[in-house]
Structures are given as C-alpha cells and as structure tokens.
Amino acid sequence: MTRLSIVIPVYNAEKTIESLCNTLIDLYGKKFSLEIVLVNDNSRDSTHLICLRLHEKQRGVITYIRLARNFGEHSAVMAGLNHATGDFCVVMDDDFQNPPEEVGRLVDEIGKGFDVVYTHYAAKRDSLFRNMGSRFNDKMANIVLRKPANLYLSSFKIMNRFLVNEIIKYTGPDPYIDAIILRSTANIGRVEVRHENRTHGSSGYTLGKLISLWGNMVVSYSLIPLRILGVIGLVLTIVGCYVGITTFIYYIVPQLQDPSEYETLTAVTTFFRGFQLLAVSVVGEYVGRIYLSLNSDPQFVIREKFSSQRKLQFACIHKEPANDDHEKNAPGA
C-alpha cells in the first residue's frame, strides 16, 4: 500500500484543524498508509490542545510537532518534511482553502512519474492584497529562480521521496521550499484544482512578511542582485565620465555658461552616495546571511514531538549542518 504523508503547517487554526484532519482520514485512511504531520508554528489560540487531542485519538496516523516560537510557514514545512516518512508527501494549508478532496488528484498526477506536482487555480479566492502579492512573487520567481512562466508556485503540492530527501539536505536558515525544488529538479507537473474561500480567520501574510519572503528569495537563492548592481555601476561610471567631460568642456569654452559649483557638487554627491549606500546594504545582506549559515542559526526549534510511532520526544535545535552539499526548498504567496 502506498505510504502517503500530508504535512500541514498550523497557525491559529483552532476552528479548522480538527475537521480538516478528520476529513483527510475519512477520505484516505483506507486507501493509503496515511500519515498526517501537524507542525504548530507557535499558535496563539488553543491550536496546541486540539492538535494534542487529535494525536491522542489517532496515534497511528497523526504526528504532532510543536515549535518553540514562530519560524514562518516555510520553516514549519521544513520541520514537517524532516519527520514525514511517506513515499509521497503532500503540503497543504490548514484552512480548507486547499480542498481535501483534491489530494487524490495530486497523488494520481505524481504517479505519472513527476518529482513534484504543483496545483494551480482557475479562480483564486484570496483578498486583492494577497492576490497582488502572489502575482508579484510569481513574476520575481520567473527572473530570480528561472521559474517556467507557466508554473504557479502554489503552497499546495505533492513531492516524491527522492525530492523530499533532497530538500531536507538543506540546513541553512530561512528555507524557501520552492527555490530548493527548482534547484533540485526540472521534472515538474501541474494540475488544476479548486481554491475555496477561507472558512475562518484571515491570511497570516502581512505586508512585512511578504516583503521578507521576497527579500529572502532574491538574496538567498540568486546572484542576480549583485549582477544588476554591477551593470548599474558600469552605467553610472560611463555617465560619470560623460558628465565629467561635459563639465570640463563648459569650463574651457568661453561661450558656454559655467555650471555652479554647488549644482555640480550636489548632483554628483547625492546620486553616487545614494548608490553606494544601496550597494553596501545589498552586499551586507549577503554577508549577514553567510554569517547566519556559519553560525548554525536554526531553521526551527522543536519544543515537543508527539510521534505517530513513539509517544513523546523532547527535541532541541533542529539538525546539525550537513557535511555534504545541500540544497534548500519558499510564497507561493
């Protein structure tokens, strides 16, 4: 029987997570050897108690992982992937926007031999702000990650065991799951599914979190910003030479009016100092991330793990850096 793991990052989902798990068990508990991995990303409501109760009722199916603080969706997914044991692993949201009935379609599609199958939607039921953020993230991924233009990086997807093993080799901070997938394989499938309205609560993605996600994608997984700065620097150097030559000509040709020293100095220093600050900030971001990686900043910290196979484990900071080469797998928004 096929072993199917379903990883669900959970945040403030007290009104939905129990119903979601029960629905998944009813639909797939007999069809597959089912494992549900719940990762509680430091929820502020009673989600912990509900997840604990679900584990107690379904010890053979549900693994419950409680993180020590809020690490973000991608780190929570990473924690789940590190504890998933299935031949295939589905990642889905906790709010019923990803219909449980569609999981079977993902399993059928990946059975055609893909490493990963992403979902896409005929109509997306998010707010205007979230949809705009998703579109911007998609366009950035086309450039930064060299994502195929017809591929939507949905958070609702399924991966085979080969790809999951490649993803969890990454030990650095701030994982972006989709970037690791695109660096690991080109064997990618797509399937259209329904996208439902959120039944309770609101999206956890604020403007600040979306900006952080975009920045993480650009800085952690691409050298394009440095190359763009190099091109800008070359252009500015050429412009600077042109301005210098023009200014010199104005000074030596009597018929032309000399530019004032204040105008020349202000224009040149303001422009070039602003560019220098931009360049230093980007380079500093790269250096800072190298420092975090060398400093073994954790992707996540597990406070408690309630395994579907073992009763309870107390865990500490997630995984030591691997000695071998590693890759890293980030939202869709």
**pLDDT tens digits for 272-323?**
777 777 787 778 777 767 766 665 667 888 888 888 754 444 444 444 444 4
User: For residue 250, is pLDDT > 90?
Assistant: no
pLDDT digits (tens, 9 = 90+) for 136-160: 677 777 777 778 888 988 999 999 9
pLDDT (0 to 100) of residue 329: 38
Band (pLDDT 50/70/90 cuts) for residue 324 is very low
- The second-level CATH assignment, the architecture, of 3-222+297-306 is Alpha-Beta Complex (3.90)
pLDDT (0 to 100) of residue 146: 78
pLDDT (0 to 100) of residue 246: 73
User: For residue 328, is pLDDT > 50?
Assistant: no
pLDDT (0 to 100) of residue 316: 41
pTM of the model: 0.72
Of 44 and 252, the one with more pLDDT = 44
Over the Cα atoms of the chain, what is R_g? 25
Among the ranges given (17-26, 27-36, 56-65, 270-279), the one the predictor scored with the smallest mean pLDDT: 270-279
Of 48 and 201, the one with more pLDDT = 48
User: For residue 124, is pLDDT > 80?
Assistant: no
Q: Where are the domains of the chain?
A: 3-222+297-306, 224-294
pLDDT (0 to 100) of residue 234: 75
Q: Which residue has the tokens 């400093």?
A: 295
Of 97 and 297, the one with more pLDDT = 97
pLDDT digits (tens, 9 = 90+) for 153-205: 899 999 999 999 999 998 887 888 998 999 999 999 999 999 887 666 555 55
pLDDT (0 to 100) of residue 208: 61
pLDDT (0 to 100) of residue 214: 67
User: For residue 133, is pLDDT > 80?
Assistant: no
Mean pLDDT (the chain, rounded)? 81
Is 162 buried (19+), middle (13-18) or exposed (0-12) by CB count in 10 A? middle
